[in-house]
Chains A and B, each alone.
Chain A
Amino acid sequence: GANSWNSDCFSAPAESFLQDFDFESNLALFNKKAVFQEIENDFPDL
């Protein structure tokens, strides 16, 4: 529910952010084109 969602999001200590967030390697985990293709194939009426 909302509580586990919130604790997931807000529980990390500030010290864990000393290094920059790695945008590039996270973007690589999401193939937008392929995911959109999948959505369109499953719901062709969209």
Chain B
Amino acid sequence: FMKKHLKNPYEINLMEELTLKGVTQYYAFVQEKQKVHCLNTLFSKLQINQSIIFCNSTQRVELLAKKITELGYSCFYIHAKMNQQHRNRVFHDFRQGLCRNLVCSDLFTRGIDIQAVNVVINFDFPKHSETYLHRIGRSGRYGHLGVAINLITYDDRFSLHKIEQELCTEIKPIPKTIDPCLYVAEAQQVD
């Protein structure tokens, strides 16, 4: 088709490469039963502008969204079993800033670039580096700063090792305090 209809075309790839540059990556070591407690503490400690929280199944997205609401935080959720129209509306509303937190499964094939999102939490650690990159990576065009926090259980050790190797990156243990300059826009302007 291209050869027939285009004369001397210029080929441009408009898909931006996803990068982990600018994203500070931490892990917290937890047991499955500590995850919600850990998340609750993160919500209270971090200066979240907007956050996205990833789970590995649609059922867990719903269970977690319910739990977060019980804890007194507002959240939207989207997953693969919702119809596209509904998903689009929730995502649009989140992008507009109508809600601070979004819980979701792996729906986005190109990564998510919402300027206002400064914290991404992997409530469930992914099994593949491609999934990790889509969740955490930013397209180079924006390259704004943010933190990613991974809740790691002992069962995730192989995935953690594999993903660090394959992406040539390091996920560090979460420090006692996270420097706001790493992810809070106002703190960066002060400098």
Report which A residues bind B (CB closer than 8 A): 2, 5-6, 8-12, 14, 16-17, 20-21, 23-24, 26-27, 29-30, 32, 35-36, 39-40, 46
Size of the chain B interface, CB-CB below 8 angstroms: 34
Q: Is the CB–CB distance between B70 and A9 below 8 Å?
A: no
B contacts with A: majority SS: helix
Report which B residues bind A (CB closer than 8 A): 28-30, 32-38, 40-42, 44-45, 57, 59-60, 63-64, 67, 70-71, 152, 154, 157-158, 160-162, 165, 173-174, 176
Known A-B contacts A6-B59, A46-B162; the reply to A17 vs B41 at CB < 8 A is yes
A contacts with B: majority SS: helix
A22 to chain B, nearest CB (A): 9
| A6 CA to B63 CA, complexed, in Å | 8
Q: Is the CB–CB distance between B29 and A6 below 8 Å?
A: no
